[in-house]
Chains A and B, each alone.
Chain A
Amino acid sequence: MELRLENLTKIFTNKTGTDTTAVDNLDITIESGTLVGLLGPSGCGKSTTLFMIAGLVKPTSGKIYFGDDDVTRLAAEKRGIGLVFQNYALYPHMTVYKNILFPLENMDVARDEAIQRVKDMANLVGIGELLDRKPAQLSGGQQQRVAIARALVKRPRVLLLDEPLSNLDARLRLQMREEIKRIQRETGITTIFVTHDQEEAMSISDKMVVLDFGVQQQYAGPQQMYNNPGNLFVAKFLGNPPINTFEAKIDKKHLIINEQKLMKVDLPDGTYDIGMRPENFRAASSDSKIKIEVDIKEIFHIGRDTMIHFEFNNQNMRALVDSEAVTDKSKKIDLTIKKERVYIFDKKTGKVIDHA
């Protein structure tokens, strides 16, 4: 089921009459059968977007299409969606079996078929033996699986997950991440999930939407978004350790850093925001074209790599380099970086400028 959002906008008005735009003109097309992550900092409108798709929040303007159906004005129960809440919202007084059966009891499903579907779904998410337990007797990960089973058992057109992993501990999170991916693959259902954890989103989504203050920043595959961030916000939001950003001047078609010419760029003169990811730096060899000498301020050995701190135009910078390239006594090092890994952003709009 393809899902399309057209100019979707949500404005909340509080009691004093001030408007807050939670979601601003969202235009996204989600292809059938993909797993899409809605990513952004707290309060960026990602949960609001999810609830609008679910039908629990009415959009101020704009349209939502499931395939060719306009569902904008359709009530939540008629949209045929499965929703997994952040804290799962499992009915505490019902057993796991009853919880999963509950959505089917409201549908025209024969009893034998319903029971079979509950069992199949429970086995798919791996809780086949826990059917007669109450939710309180389950671990967080198991509750999560029950919630997903309950959402999927009625064969929804779209599966929505609201911060599905935020209530789990770090290890379970890794495990459930893969589980969600597996379940989505096996059922082939169009899935949207909301998260503020970029690593989580990057590891399981087919495509990601990054939102900031309700405005769509970029919509692309995770690796593409990481390698080619559309703007400064996306570049800063993705990546751990975070991207290095600093101001630099372009003077006579040359990017000037620490009063040295780093490389030739075909852009008009002026001040630009520059981004360079720590892991894209290399120790320069004698035939490197792009080369810059930096004073090392600190050295941290972190297993495979070595992190060095230095300054570009009085901004603190970090670089991950091969541990053989520096010794503890190194004072200076020649660094190089590929031209297409130097991101140049417009000072005013923050948009990336293509210079390669």
Chain B
Amino acid sequence: MRNFFKKVKKSIKDFLWDVRKRIKIRQRKIGAYLDERNLNLATKFPGWAKALLYLSPALIVLAIFTFWPIFNAFRLVLYEGYNMTDNTITGYTIFGNFIKVINDESFIFPAQHTQGTAIVNTLIIVFISVPISIFLALFISVALNSIKPLKGFFQTIYFLPYVTNTIAIGLVIAYMFKSDGGLINELLGLGEFSWIERGSTHPRAMFVLIFYSIWGSLAFKIMVFLTSIQGIDKQYYQAASIDATPRRRIFSKITVPLISPMIFYILVTSVIGAFKIYNHIVALFGVTGKPDGVDFTMQSIVMYIYKYIDGGGNNLSIAAAGSLILFSIILILTLVQMQASKKRVHY
């Protein structure tokens, strides 16, 4: 029986070997044919043309799905009264659409009897949940790195949110924070305390959203920090321990500086990610960002933009203006971070 399998294995390997040989012969023949007729791309094309040829699949996709939409955003912003179905406009404007967005209710200024605006909500998420989640992720990854037993088990647990669907987790969180029989109210003995439903307030809803976004974003951060901590030469820690360095100082003077490039990378990407928050809010508060019977809105900038894209196509100019505003905020913040990092990030 064993011999039989050996024979089968050998004949498969022989076959593959043969095929490879035939392909090579074929390639050589084609090469010779092309050389004969002076058609060989490898020698005939200049370097840049070859580069362009090889890049073309990615370039075509990028052009259709990234560059063309970006160009369109700039185009749409200049139109007044754009109608998508007829493809007609009533005039041109430079700042008109931006002014409309800024004056729009619940973008910068809250609407009547409504707390929270798109800008405020987004900024709260960016400036509260990002720093907290980075600090938490740092501490958890240092802790995970120093435990030996059940290491794999804990790593899996902390990594679970990353492989789970955002909306699904959001629904679970929403269920946990339900006023009637939700896990949190049961555990804390709060009775029918409203977190995200009728009767809740803006700070309470924001607390749930921050809790959820921190938890959801920890996984990736922990993974990145843990790998970079594991990449630090053990000798630095041995040297530090011989010098009787307390754990706190090892963390702040050795671990953090040595992984500072990674912390900066995480900071930039999570700030950008937080500005684009959308899924989390939809999962908790629905597509409008405003559950029934509350006096606040949880809508973010991206939700605001999406509302105008969705609205029949006649308000695309406003959506374009909104997205350009978002783009410039992110651009400015990232530039500021890059400047600040020159002093703080080592290497």
Contact = CB atoms under 8 A, between A and B. Distances in A.
Contacts of A76: 238, 241-242
Interface in A135-163: 150, 154
A75 B260 CA distance: 30
A324 B235 CA distance: 55
Contacts of B245: 77, 102, 106
Interface string A58-77: 00000000000000000111
A103 B243 contact: yes
A91 B242 contact: no
Contacts of A154: 243
Contacts of B246: 106
Interface stretch (A81-89, A230-238, A252-260, A276-284): A81-89
A127 to B, nearest CB: 18
A54 interface: yes
Contacts, number: 58
Query: What DSSP secondary structure best describes chain A's contact surface?
Result: loop
B235 A89 contact: yes
A329 interface: no
Nearest to A107: B244
A337 B244 CA distance: 56
Contacts of A83: 238-239, 242
A217 to B, nearest CB: 28
A323 to B, nearest CB: 49
Contact of A56 (B238, B249, B258): B238
B113 to A, nearest CB: 53
Contacts of B257: 91, 93-94
Nearest to B240: A102
Contacts of B233: 89
B235 A91 contact: no
A277 B294 CA distance: 98
A92 B235 CA distance: 12
Contact of A93 (B235, B238, B244, B258): B258
Interface in A23-71: 54-56
A106 B239 contact: no
B343 interface: no
Nearest to A156: B242
B16 interface: no
Nearest to B246: A106
Given A85-B235, A106-B249, A92 B242 contact: no
Contacts of B238: 56, 76, 83, 85, 89
Given A106-B244, A106-B245, A93 B347 contact: yes
